[in-house]
Amino acid sequence: MKPIAIFRHSASEGAGYLVSFLDARKLPWQLIRIDAGEAVPPDAGAFSGLVFMGGPMSVNDPLPWIEPVLALIRDAVARDIPVLGHCLGGQLMSRALGGVVRKNSVKEIGWGQVNLSVNSEARVWFGEIKSAMVFHWHGETFSLPAGANHLLSSKHCTNQAYSLGKHLALQCHVEMTEEMIREWCEIGADEISEKVHSEGVQSAVVIQSLMPQYLPPLHALAETIYTQWIKGLPD
C-alpha cells in the first residue's frame, strides 16, 4: 500500500490523534513538512491518500507552496484519491475545488458544539449523533464547492464540514491531543488575550480545564470520522 501523505504547515500543528489511529491499523504514512521547506509532491498518484493539517496562515496569503498544494488536491480528486482537510486543510480543499475562503464573522477558539446536518451523508461520516463538542481555532471560513454535501455547523460558523464523495473537509479540529492543546494555548496566548471577551473565544484556563471532559469523546468522534475516510483508500 502506498503511504498516506500528511502535510504539516506549522511545527505545532501536526497530525496529533490521527497518527495514533493510523499506527494502530498499521497504515503507512509520510509526513511532509511544508513548514520546514519540504517540497510539495507534484503527483498525487504516489500516495494512497492526502491529509492536510492546520496552520496560522491564510490560504489567501501569497505563499509559494499554496498553488502547488491546490494543484495537488485537484489532481487527487481527479484520480479519486481520498483527501482529508483539518481547518486550514479544509480551507485549502475548498479553494482548490472552486470555493472561497474569507474572514469569519467571529473568531472561534476553544471548545464548542457542532450540529449535524439532516442528511444521509452526515450520518455516513458521523454516525447517529446529532451534535458533538469539538475543538476550534480559526478566524476564517470556507464556502462549499459545487456538489459538496454540508455536514456540520456551529453557532458562529455555518460551514464546519463538508464531504465530496470520499473527500472530507473540516473547519474544526478533531485531531487534538492534550499536548497539542497545551502548546497551542502557550503559543497563542496573545491571540487569546486579544479576543478573550469575544463570544467565540475561551481563556486558556477554561480550555485546559475542559480537556478531561471533552478529549475522550473527541477522540471517539475522530475514530468514527477517520474510519469512514480510510474506507476510500485503495487496497
The tens digit of pLDDT for each residue in 153-182 reads 999 999 999 999 999 999 999 999 999 999
- Residue spans per domain, the chain: 4-230
Three cell numbers at 168?
A: 472530507
Question: Degrees (nearest 5) of the Cα angle 133, 211, 25?
Answer: 75
HSE-up (13 A, CA, CB side) for residue 135: 30
Closest among 164, 1, 15, 162 to 80, alpha carbons compared? 164
| SS3 call for 87 | coil
CB 83 within 8 A of CB 93: yes
- pLDDT one-digit tens code per residue, 168-225: 999 999 999 999 999 999 999 999 998 878 889 999 999 999 999 999 999 999 999 9
| pLDDT value at residue 195 | 80
Three cell numbers at 48?
A: 494512497
| pLDDT value at residue 140 | 98
Provide the b/e sequence for 89-126 (b: ≥16 CB within 10 Å). Answer: bbbbbbbbbebebeebebbbbbbbebebbeeebbeebb
- pLDDT one-digit tens code per residue, 18-69: 999 999 999 999 999 999 999 999 999 999 999 999 999 999 999 999 999 9
Residues 6+ apart with CB under 8 A from 228: 124, 125, 168
CATH T-level fold of 4-230: Rossmann fold (3.40.50)
Beta bridge partners of 212: none
DSSP code string of 6-39: EEESSTT---THHHHHHHHTT--EEEEEGGGTPP
Positive or negative, the Cα torsion across 66, 69, 75, 80?
Answer: negative
Q: Indicate if the pLDDT at residue 235 is higher than 80.
A: no
HSE-up (13 A, CA, CB side) for residue 110: 23
